[in-house]
Amino acid sequence: MSIRFHMDEVRDRVFGVEEIATLPPALASILSVTKDPHSTAMDLAEEIGKDPALAAKVLKTVNSSFYGFGRRIQTVNDAVVLLGYIEVERLALAITVINLFGGDWKQARFLSQLWRHSLAASIAADLVGKASKAQTTDIAGAHVAGLLHDIGKAVLSQSMPDVFPVIIELVERNGYDPLTAEQEVLDGVDHSEIGGWIANNWSLPPSIVESIRTHHNPDKATSGRILPHITHLANAICHSIDVPSMVIESPTASQIGSPDSWELLGLDDSIIDHTLQRIENERDFIGAMSTRTA
């Protein structure tokens, strides 16, 4: 199998899926609130409530056995009061992003594993950011960057489903690193670059765009230096505790991040155990969310 794509074709196919290339309204409304430093929990509840389908899915999840409330939660306002701003934001973002890519049964196994990894990385990025010596302003949006860092893989699965069999063959039969295999097939670009294209097209904050684009090589970030290193380390920790983003991973995926990231953020390896415990505590929630369909 020797399929290769030229850069122009990659771009055309990625941006040819209109519902992905353009920021979905539900996601736009949530991000507009979370990007505003003066927004309140009630602002978030109001935006979610403007989308009845999203509000219904949020309430369905909040009323699931994972949260275990003694009474039924009737409104998004009540959910925000009980769970807090960050938890409901994380929940609404995850539902919106996962549903954006539908439930194609052909991609079900891949997407389920990808979302499991992405949800875990969101948790890890939040923990890494809060445990680091970075300023609060530098870690803003860490959980969003963690959730979206591998969005390029989801975009590829939707726009170029013929790519992954070729990449897997290069890895399994030719010993390629997965990132190198992507670059070989996609004319020098990979999922992180493609994720950066989409995030930029969605007008996400530059630090989040850079975190997505450079989560494998954060030293190459040109803006928001701290957040790309947080995202990189969150991704690496998730691989190290066996929450990979693909069925196939490179032998080096278990290396726990760049030493520069550990040094810059002022962390030691105790954050790994802390992250593992938090992800274990949320395993049922992650499992339920990662198999969600539109």
Q: What percent of the chain has pLDDT over 90?
A: 45
pLDDT in tens, 65-93: 778 888 899 999 999 888 888 888 888 99
pLDDT the model gives residue 121: 95
Question: What is the identity of the amino acid at 243?
Answer: V
pLDDT in tens, 167-198: 988 998 888 999 999 999 999 999 999 999 99
Give the integer Cα–Cα distance in Å for 128 and 264: 12
> What's this model's pTM, rounded to 2 decimal places?
0.89
pLDDT the model gives residue 249: 44
Check if the beta carbon of residue 45 is closer than 8 Å to that of residue 82.
Answer: no
Name every residue whose Cβ is closer than 8 Å to that of residue 191 and which is 6 or more positions away in sequence.
150, 152, 153, 155, 156, 182
Domains of the chain: 7-20+103-290 (1.10.3210.10)
Q: Two tokens at 64?
A: 């699931």
246, pLDDT greater than 60: no
252, pLDDT greater than 80: no
For 113, other C-beta atoms within 10 Å of its C-beta total 17
For 277, other C-beta atoms within 10 Å of its C-beta total 11
pLDDT the model gives residue 88: 87
Check if the beta carbon of residue 197 is closer than 8 Å to that of residue 23.
Answer: no
